[in-house]
């Protein structure tokens, strides 16, 4: 999985409240992404098992509106997202992790 | 709300059109999912002007169209191996006569149209204006039909889409007939991967 900037925004929104029901349009607004970017991304995440989707229950006060589908991070998705975002926020550390170096950089430990 | 607003109906139509590209097993569910987002967009009170909400709904549909194209592309990539094996097992033998027959039918209908036009022009030395206009309208309508068909097709056969579009335009009935008889990929008709062009 390549952590692109839009993907990062989506993961940040979903991680902010992992138990919330994230509807497509709300995700679009929160992550400031167009539907043409968001939905292919969600489909990919779903294929990788990082996100799952469900239909909401039909509400009484819906006023004839059809039920919507919401997305949530799976347990695996939550783990991967936390890891990826942590690495993204400290690029130097991420580089070290990728290169398999285990020795801390000079000055990074007390 | 007694009736569905016009924008919503247009947007639903656009979404249905986009969903036609999707593989049949996910089509209905995706269509339902995306159509269900529309009321949320159109009633989004954080966007003050109804006009802007409508615009947002339409741009949502544009994104859905892009999504459907991408999803169908990745679904095709996934099933390419399965299709390859299907085409190696005898179905291949059906293809050449099939294409030849379509080309002959296309050529015959083109001939009938051209001969009809020539015969009409001979009998009427000075064709009335309305007839000319009717002919032009029919030709333009046919061209438009072919171009829309090319634009909406996920793939066409043998030539890239732009080449078919040019062929349709430069030889008005003939190019379109050629496209419909050879280049057009009918629904549910398997196509060997080498022939399909984006």
Specify the pLDDT at position A57.
85
**Which chain B positions have a beta carbon within 8 Å of A64's beta carbon?**
1
Once rounded to an integer, what is the mean pLDDT over residues B7-12? 90
Interface touch A43/B32, C-beta < 8 Å: no
Residue B15's pLDDT band, with cuts at 50, 70 and 90, is: very high
The candidate with the shortest Cα–Cα distance to A22, out of B165, B2, B122, B40, is: B40
The candidate with the shortest Cα–Cα distance to B43, out of B81, B8, B90, B88, is: B8
pLDDT at B43 over 70: yes
Q: How far is CA B3 from CA A66, A87, B7, B8, B42, in A?
A: 14, 51, 12, 10, 14
Nearest CB to A67 within list B36, B41, B65: B36
- Torsion sign across C-alpha atoms A35, A3, B72, B164: positive
pLDDT at B114 over 90: no
Q: How far is CA A9 from CA A14, A23, A40, B27, in A?
A: 9, 15, 15, 28
Map tokens 């095709």 to a residue: B76
Between helix A24-31 and helix A5-16 the angle, nearest 10°, is: 110
For A1-110, strand residue ranges (E) read 22-23, 51-55, 69-73
Out of A90-99, B21-30, B69-78, B85-94, the most confident range is: B21-30
Interface touch B71/A65, C-beta < 8 Å: no
- Worst-scoring range by mean pLDDT, B9-13, B27-31, B154-158? B154-158
* ipTM value > 0.95: no
Q: Are A3 and B30 in contact (CB under 8 A)?
A: no
Specify the pLDDT at position A25.
92
Chain B: give the shortest CA distance to residue A74, in Å.
20
The candidate with the shortest Cα–Cα distance to B72, out of A39, A95, A52, is: A39
Q: Which contacts of B167-172 are long-range, i.e. CB under 8 A and separated by 24 or more positions?
A: B168/B143, B169/B143, B172/B139, B172/B142, B172/B143
**Nearest Cα residue in chain A from B38:** A25
pLDDT at B154 over 60: yes
Chain B: give the shortest CA distance to residue A28, in Å.
10
Once rounded to an integer, what is the mean pLDDT over residues B143-155? 86
The candidate with the shortest Cα–Cα distance to B103, out of B179, B13, B42, is: B179
**Which chain A positions have a beta carbon within 8 Å of B1's beta carbon?**
63-64
pLDDT digits 0-9 by tens, A37-89? 999 999 999 999 999 999 988 777 767 788 999 999 999 999 999 998 888 88
Interface with B, mutate which of A6, A23, A29, A35 (most B CBs under 10 A) = A35
Chain B: give the shortest CA distance to residue A27, in Å.
11
B132 or A10, higher pLDDT: A10
d(CA B76, CA B196): 12
Residue B187's pLDDT band, with cuts at 50, 70 and 90, is: low
- Worst-scoring range by mean pLDDT, A28-32, A41-45, B102-106? B102-106
Specify the pLDDT at position B174.
83
């Amino acid at each position: 999985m390549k952590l692109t900037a839009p993907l990062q925004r989506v993961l940040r929104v979903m991680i902010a409240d992992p138990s919330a029901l994230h509807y497509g349009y709300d995700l679009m607004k929160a992550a400031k992404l167009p539907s043409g970017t968001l939905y292919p991304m969600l489909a990919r995440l779903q294929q990788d098992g990082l996100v799952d989707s469900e239909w909401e229950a039909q509400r009484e006060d819906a006023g004839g509106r059809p039920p919507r589908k919401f997305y949530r991070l799976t347990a695996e998705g939550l783990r991967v997202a936390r890891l990826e975002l942590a690495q993204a926020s400290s690029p130097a550390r991420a580089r070290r992790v990728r290169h398999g170096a285990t020795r801390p950089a000079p000055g990074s430990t007390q | 709300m007694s009736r569905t607003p016009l924008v919503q109906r247009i947007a639903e139509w656009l979404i249905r059109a986009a969903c036609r590209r999707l593989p049949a097993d996910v089509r209905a569910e995706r269509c339902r999912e995306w159509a269900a987002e529309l009321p949320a967009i159109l009633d989004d009170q954080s966007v003050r002007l109804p006009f802007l909400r409508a615009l947002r709904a339409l741009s949502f549909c544009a994104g859905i169209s892009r999504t459907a194209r991408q999803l169908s592309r990745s679904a095709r990539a996934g099933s390419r191996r399965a299709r390859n094996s299907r085409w190696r097992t005898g179905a291949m033998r059906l293809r050449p006569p099939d294409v030849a027959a379509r080309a002959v039918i296309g050529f015959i209908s083109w001939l009938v149209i051209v001969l009809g036009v020539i015969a009409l022009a001979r009998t009427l030395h000075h064709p009335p204006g309305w007839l000319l206009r009717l002919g032009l309208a029919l030709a333009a309508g046919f061209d438009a039909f072919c171009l829309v068909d090319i634009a909406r097709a996920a793939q066409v056969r043998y030539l890239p889409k732009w080449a078919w579009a040019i062929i349709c335009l430069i030889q008005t009935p003939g190019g379109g007939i050629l496209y419909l008889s050879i280049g057009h990929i009918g629904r549910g008709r398997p196509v060997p991967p080498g022939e399909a062009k984006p």
